[in-house]
Amino acid sequence: MRKLFITSFLMLLVFLLTTADIFGDKIKISISGGFEEIRFFEKNRVVYYSLSELAEILGGQLDWEIIGHKVKYTEPNFRFDFLIESPYFRLDDSLFNLTYPALYDEGQLFVAAETFTPFLDGVTVQKITWDGDSRMLRVEPEYFNVTDFGISSKANGILIEVFLTSALNYDVFVTEGNWINISIPDARINSPRILSRKDPRYMYKLNVHQVANTGQISLRLKKNVNKWSHKLVFDPPRIQVSIPDIDFEIDPSDTSPVIGPDNKIDVIIVDPGHGGKDYGAIGQSGTREKDIVLNIGKELAKIIRKDKQFKVIMTRDRDEYVSLEERAKIANEAGADLFISIHANASPRKNVTGWNVFFLAPARNDSARAVAQLENSFFLRELSAGGDNPGETDDDVYYDPIVNILNEMIMTEFQAESHDFAMMVDREFRRNLKTPARGVDQAGFFVLNKVFTPSVLVEAAFISNKTEEKILKDKDYQKEIAEGIYRAVKRFKAKYENQ
């Protein structure tokens, strides 16, 4: 009888352990050469991870429309909409079933790792996979071997290019309706980036198909395709498809400056923020942002110049005021390949710490909007002071920084490259800085407006935090920031120039 009781008890215990919810643990994320952790729990043998925490690591944030009920996750190229306790969700305009419902716990959204990860992987520029055995998410920014796409007009026709990390076999064929199809066995195609290259001047449609290990890029041209030729070229490796058509013309007004993976990456603009009458943020001990970022900028310029591969231009190398127009003009007239704006963050909450890397795109959360508002504030005051109406004061004239930027700037021209470079800086900072990581984010910054090149804004730490104010003044920390950015510049050059 005792033996039967023990056996029954053990069977019940096993049943309870296998069906109970296990909360509060962390799973690892392999990203940027290091590891991060996010919350997860197990329910009915299904692993759920926090999409709220994962989104922040990837540079985004979830927005709750109805607290505890409806939530959305938006990126430049996609949008997810979830209902709590429902397995159904929307990806853009399509409805899908996750099998397992989205769940809410302690203010965070949790999704089933096995069924949701493939959807996220399908729309992000990184490769994202779930390893159920080791309970690890892998984020691989450099997973793809078909990395980019370009189309341009030449003196004798149209040139189509598909950029590779190494030489690959391929086939090109034309189908009815002026479809050019480039089929590549053993391809891993960066679909979001290539789809972002659709140019309505040349094509009606641009499609990407990935089936198992074979990928195909198809574009429907606006011109008849009678003849074509193709070849594989190197330095960097790429497939070129040439379509002779001497009568092809495009409207010059529809042409914008272009930088691509086949250009040399050798002109770097270092932009220390603020300066002169614009002090920037001021720390509790009186440290001025304009002084700190100038020191970091000078250190960065010195390190990059030692490489002998780059030409470095500083928007300012002394304590002087430089307008937004002047900063953009310096970068554009120099033919800049990268624009790096350096700042120190500030917050009314003195306990906030950490570094951020931003690229130019619509802000997705209040934190990013607050940083943009802070960095744009001096220029907003300048604009307000120049109001057209007599007697107008600063309080009478209100400029919404996000709305005004979005009305004028080109948001997508270099967004993919800027995001990629921001991720590279993020990776180097995570490896080497002891200050907390706040990751990659996006917002509308005046200083990046109308700079026609990949660009980022680095917030080195919070000058409003007494501890980090002291760290920012430390020459060794300033050098660590500069060295991290320099290593990212080298990675960007290697990826986009010597693939």
Over residues 247-284, the pLDDT tens digits come to 655 544 444 444 433 358 889 999 998 899 888 889 99
Check residue 471 and give its pLDDT: 95
222-244 burial string, b = 16+ CB within 10 Å, else e?
eeebeebebeeeeebbbbebbbe
pLDDT tens string 292-347: 999 999 999 999 999 888 999 999 999 999 887 788 888 888 888 898 989 998 88
Confirm whether pTM is higher than 0.85: no
Q: Which fold has domain 146-254?
A: Immunoglobulin-like (2.60.40)
Check residue 31 and give its pLDDT: 77
Domain with CATH 2.60.40.3500 in the chain: 146-254
CA atoms of 436 and 460, how far apart (whole Å): 11
Residue 285 has pLDDT above 80, yes or no: yes
Check residue 41 and give its pLDDT: 92
CATH superfamily placement of domain 21-140:
Copper amine oxidase-like, N-terminal domain (3.30.457.10)
CA atoms of 475 and 317, how far apart (whole Å): 17
Residue 153 has pLDDT above 60, yes or no: yes
Highest mean pLDDT: which range of 234-243, 375-384, 488-497: 234-243
pLDDT tens string 373-407: 444 444 444 444 443 333 333 333 333 333 333 33
Residue in the block written with tokens 């495009």: 250
Range scoring the smallest mean pLDDT among 10-19, 83-92, 465-474: 10-19
Q: In degrees to the nearest 10, what's the CA dihedral of 416, 418, 419, 421?
A: 120
Range scoring the smallest mean pLDDT among 68-72, 97-101, 198-202: 68-72
Check residue 261 and give its pLDDT: 36
Residue in 440, 421, 437 with CA at minimum distance from that of residue 429: 437
Residue 16 has pLDDT above 90, yes or no: no
Q: Averaged over 223-239, what is the pLDDT?
A: 89
Given a contact cutoff of 8 angstroms between Cβ atoms, the answer to whether 440 and 59 are in contact is yes
CA atoms of 297 and 285, how far apart (whole Å): 22
Q: Which CATH number fits domain 267-497: 3.40.630.40, 3.30.420.280, 3.20.20.70, 3.30.310.220?
A: 3.40.630.40
Check residue 252 and give its pLDDT: 47
Domain with CATH 3.40.630.40 in the chain: 267-497
